[in-house]
A and B are shown apart, each in its own frame.
Chain A
Amino acid sequence: MTMAEVQIMTGNTAAAIAAKLCQVQVVAAYPITPQTSITETLSQYIESGALKAEYVRVEGEHSALTVCISASTVGARAFTSTSSHGLLYMHEQLHWAAGSRLPIVMCCVNRGVGAPWSIFNDQQDSIAQRDTGWIQIYCRDNQEIIDTVIQSYRIAEEVYAPVMVCYDGFVLSHTMMPVSVPEAALVNSFLPPYKPHTFLSAENPRNINPVIFPHMRKNSAGVLCDGYMEMRYKLQKSLEKAKDTIIAVGMQYTKLTGRDYSELLWHYKTEDADIVLTGMGSIATEATVAVDQLRLQGIKAGVVGVRVFRPFPRIALQKALQGARAIFVLEKAISYGYEGALCSDIKAALYGTGISAPMHNYIAGLGGRDVKAREIAAAVETSLGEINNKKTHNKTVWINCRQ
């Protein structure tokens, strides 16, 4: 372990410092609340010469991610950040980046999605990008933001998949917290310069991402090459395998910093808990306060935080939830017409395991509505009452919402 400097900073400053520590070579971003100050801070670093990188001040988010895609294709380490509609506007390029197997890292500062306009926090933006082939990691606090961005480049460059580092707008992005900033030497030893296995260069003509047919075809040397499905299979396998990489990279980082990133999940008072609350990002942090309140009522509650959402930590969740008498999934997003996506994924992960504890899905904090720990605790108490009377087993509850 080396000495690190503790500074008070916002989540967005933490993200920008992390990008600088990773010595990103190309930055392209477009301002959107609440992500904007990342782009401003990086502009400062680059114009002052503190960070040697190309900053492309694009005219929109679609172009921002495009610049990262092309820059990464010729072998540069690329960074971008966005929120909400910016992320939605990038949607096409999210698929293109993952399909191209490029190790781009992006911060998604989570914000609600219009219409109507909301600049405030929820997680509908990144959850709606669940199926684009990106790794998604959710942060609880500003320390996790700086640490996760640094780890993400290692992960992305090992598995050849892009990583989205998600954290809640305003709640983290604009809130000052003490953050231990790793020394540059530590980051350099942890994260070697980006060495792509394939990159486009003028000396070596190749046609990257041309039209591909459904069937496999032979190249000019007569070798049967992958078709579209084989390429997609490889992306899927890489994302599945990424769970091991995320853990291995996390353990190495834990060793260097003393901060625990050895798991895809995190746990709070779960040793003796039979009531488990789960969620991602700041709402899961809020749940820890609710758990403290519930424990005062004699309810043995704990929190299982989901840090990595894609690839989905199926086995880890099966283990973490096996002793639960009731499970409450807190989400700041919803798959309209059904329920929260995390809740559905957890149910799917438990299928066939014998774990059939009642599960209530709490939809809360949409469009920045405040979520208080006591409201979560009250909802849990109400749910437990219903569950004990065998009234409900499976239910979606909207917290703090006129109905």
Chain B
Amino acid sequence: MPENLFKVNREEYMLPGNRACQGCGLSLSYRYVLKALRENTILTLPASCLTVLHGLYPTTSVVIPCLNCTFASTAASAAGLVAGLAATGKTDTTVVAVAGDGGTYDIGIQALSGAAERGTDFIFVCYDNEGYMNTGTQRSSATPMGALTTTTPILTKEQNKKDMLKIMEAHDIAYIATTSPAYPLDLYDKFVKAKRIKGTRYMQIHVPCPPGWGYPPRETVKLARLAIETGVFVLFEIENGKFRLTGRSKSLAEKGTRIPLTNYLERQDRFKKMSADQLSQLQKFVDNKWNEYLKKSAS
């Protein structure tokens, strides 16, 4: 790892006070993302919770140059920044796109796939809160099976979460990493590393959402940690095609102490209508993914 606890950038790029919800997992993560990216970074973002966090014109809660773009266009917007900066002789600026799971897995996937295939020199960050939270908790393709959302209000989500990481891996890009606000130093290190790598880098942050998931705001870090402990979300990185478990996920794999899914699910209202069958299906889904990761890690 390139940097450690004692070297975390002391600068703050998020100003005191922003419009994110209390206990927002994005808010916690974003502070460290910006610390790692530092100066000489330009950011682009679509309509999302992050737009709300950034504040209302003419004030903003972040000290970072950023360009708002339309929902489907995030990665293309980044590609335009990269091209424009290259054309005007500014090739040392890091271009970063930040979108939610809706803007990544769903409406933004075409532009993202295009930019990744072209090897666009930028970092794409997906903060995954597992639903359209900015519009009030509708289902996305990142929503896990069994979750209640306002568009799956009775039957719950009937499909498993899309494996976006696998899709990005299939693009053979320079760097892929997963991060969690429960492990900010792991997150910080991976973003510092991403900034140093050229080419397309894809970063995914698993961000708990108190209003969307239905839990008290004080439990955001606990839920982010339980997601790792149960293997619902796994910390890893793929550098030049080489897969590596990192941080807590690595030690869980080594010790074999991953805990059952119910520890994570029972703390969230969104899973209160989940059937026993769905629970066993979801457990199996998580177990299969975990085993895939173990296999990749061993190879």
Q: What residues make up the interface of A, taking CB atoms closer than 8 Å to B?
A: 25-26, 28, 53-54, 56-60, 62-64, 66-76, 78, 92-93, 96, 200-202, 204-213, 217-220, 225
Contact = CB atoms under 8 A, between A and B. Distances in A.
B76 A67 contact: yes
A63 B65 contact: no
Given A63-B114, A71-B84, A212 B57 contact: yes
A204 B85 CA distance: 14
Nearest to A221: B58
Contact of A71 (B39, B40, B83, B111): B83
Interface residues on B, range: 35 or more
A210 B65 contact: no
Contacts of A74: 42, 81, 84-85, 88, 90
A211 B59 contact: no
B39 A66 contact: no
A52 to B, nearest CB: 8
Contacts of A200: 42, 65-67, 81
Contacts of B56: 210-213, 217
B195 interface: no
Query: Is chain A's binding surface mostly helix, strand, loop or mixed?
Result: mixed
A377 B200 CA distance: 60
20 contacts: A54-B86, A56-B80, A59-B113, A59-B114, A63-B73, A70-B69, A70-B76, A71-B83, A72-B84, A74-B88, A78-B80, A93-B73, A96-B69, A201-B65, A202-B41, A202-B90, A205-B62, A207-B60, A207-B68, A210-B56
Nearest to B13: A205
B123 to A, nearest CB: 14
A197 to B, nearest CB: 15
Contact of A53 (B44, B87, B117): B87
B78 interface: yes
B106 to A, nearest CB: 15
B86 A210 contact: no
B60 A210 contact: yes
A202 B111 contact: no
B82 to A, nearest CB: 8
B111 A76 contact: no
B63 interface: yes
Nearest to A95: B70
B90 A54 contact: no
Contacts of B85: 74
B79 interface: yes
Nearest to B117: A59
Q: What 5 A-B pairs have minimum CB-CB distances, sorted nearest first?
A: A70-B80, A59-B114, A71-B84, A63-B76, A67-B80
A60 B110 contact: yes
A62 B73 contact: yes
B42 A28 contact: no
B79 A211 contact: no
Contacts of B81: 70-71, 73-74, 200
Contact of B80 (A26, A57, A60, A202): A26
